[in-house]
Structure 1
Amino acid sequence: MRDNLARQRTETLATQEVGTVTAILGKRLMVRVGSGEYEAERAVSCLVEPELGDLVLLALHDEGCHVLAVLKREGAGATRLVAEGDLEMSAPAGKVTIRAQSGMCMATPGETTLASGKVRVHAREAALAVEAMSYLGDQLVAKIDHVKTVARSVESVADRWVSRVARAYRFIAESEQVRARYYEVSAKAAVNIKSQTTLVKSGELTKIDGGQVHIG
């Protein structure tokens, strides 16, 4: 009995009224209802940020005034979900789906982290602009019809590099240097080397072997 009486004394009674937002004072709102005009805060559960002229549900209680929900808004403006502090969406037993007809935009001056067991991206067209990027992985498989790369400098470091192509063309404007411990060129049909000056140097042995050798 005493516990019930104590609980009744500590309970805060509230009344609810429907009104219109008349002013926005920083994080506080001026709301006009039937009983008057009040300065109110946005409740934590009211994620939709109220705007001028919105029809809202206002709670009046001993602790102050809080806007519980935005009921109606004139016009076709954007609906903004705003939370004071961190915002977390969780579906422990299911999945989260976000759909948009016109497009989606993610913007933050901080860090964006994506952690997943598997990631799939499907798009007809994509553009990526990154000042610096690093990739760390065990395996990369790419199946592409056409690749064009324009870069000022490219450096590749690998223990083993294998290329299998039907036709290869290289156009080098100035010079090309190959430094190797062992260098082999093998062609089934012919090898053709053309230049104004050709120098062949070896420290120990130079051998030319063929069915016919023509010099000059």
Structure 2
Amino acid sequence: MRDNLARQRVETFATQEVGTVIGVMGRSFQVRVGSGDYAARRAVSCLVEPALGDRVLLALHEGGCHVLAVLDRDGDAPARLVADGDLEVCAPNGRFTVTAGEGVRLVTPAEAAVAAGTVRVAAAEGSFAVGAMTYVGEQLVAQVHRVKTVARSVESIAGRWVQRLDRAYRFIAESEQVRAQYYEVKARAAVNIKAEATLVSSGELTKIDGGQIHLG
């Protein structure tokens, strides 16, 4: 049986011709060569998708016809790398670099996942449009010159919150409520409270202490 298989492999042969793509019908390509017109499929090794007018290398064999390679293309039509199934690019012992002079785009209707030991992004300008985003991490450190946030609602939950500021300004249109077990305000120079009505109430003790106290 092995001898029969070896004999069949030896007897299988193919001829190659250079032709022009004159028609595209789904996954089949109509190719015109010197010996006639043939309906050919794209070989698995030919990742560049043939287009109308391309000069291609055609292989004719007992099993049919296959486009082996795209040789020439007129005009500035983009080269499309197409795989019928999943496509993997592997460099187990090296690096994989994508370089483009006018931009790089990643488009998919499904999930785009990045798994790496370290991720670095360096850009002069960035823009993100995300419907819903979730961040889970151990630590977040940000160093920026200016931050501006516009939101309809903001809620923060933390075990400890520390802010160190040179100046702070808050403009609240309606009301502000602070609920705490212990509330302390310290100012080195002065504390100024202005309102049409001021109410101070305590359940047990109210104490006012100062070098001078002026009422009225």
Question: Is the structural similarity TM-score above 0.5?
Answer: yes
- In the alignment, the residues of structure 1 paired with residue 45 and residue 185 of structure 2 have an alpha-carbon distance, to the nearest angstrom, of 73
- In the alignment, the residues of structure 1 paired with residue 139 and residue 4 of structure 2 have an alpha-carbon distance, to the nearest angstrom, of 69
Deviations 1:87-140 (A, max 9, x none): 111100001000011111111110000001001101111111111001000000
Distance 1:3 1:86, change over 3 A: closer
Q: CA RMSD in A?
A: 1.2
Deviation at 1:8, TM superposition (A): 2.5
Aligned to 2:184: 184
What does 1:1-216 align with in structure 2 at a 5 Å threshold? 6-11=5-10, 12-216=12-216
Amino acid at match of 1:14: A
Deviations 1:42-70 (A, max 9, x none): 01111100000000011111111100110
- In the alignment, the residues of structure 2 paired with residue 75 and residue 28 of structure 1 have an alpha-carbon distance, to the nearest angstrom, of 22
- SS of 1:10's equivalent in the other structure is helix
- SS of 1:9's equivalent in the other structure is helix
- In the alignment, the residues of structure 2 paired with residue 5 and residue 132 of structure 1 have an alpha-carbon distance, to the nearest angstrom, of 62
- In the alignment, the residues of structure 2 paired with residue 139 and residue 60 of structure 1 have an alpha-carbon distance, to the nearest angstrom, of 61
Runs of 4+ in 1 over 4 A off after TM superposition: 2-6
- In the alignment, the residues of structure 2 paired with residue 9 and residue 104 of structure 1 have an alpha-carbon distance, to the nearest angstrom, of 47
Amino acid at match of 1:213: I
- SS of 2:39's equivalent in the other structure is strand
- SS of 1:67's equivalent in the other structure is strand
Deviations 1:140-175 (A, max 9, x none): 000000111000000001101001111000000110
Deviation at 1:9, TM superposition (A): 2.2
Count, aligned residues: 215
- In the alignment, the residues of structure 1 paired with residue 64 and residue 179 of structure 2 have an alpha-carbon distance, to the nearest angstrom, of 80
Runs of 5+ unmatched residues, structure 2? none
Amino acid at match of 2:23: A
Deviation at 1:5, TM superposition (A): 6.2
- SS of 2:7's equivalent in the other structure is helix
- In the alignment, the residues of structure 2 paired with residue 9 and residue 170 of structure 1 have an alpha-carbon distance, to the nearest angstrom, of 85
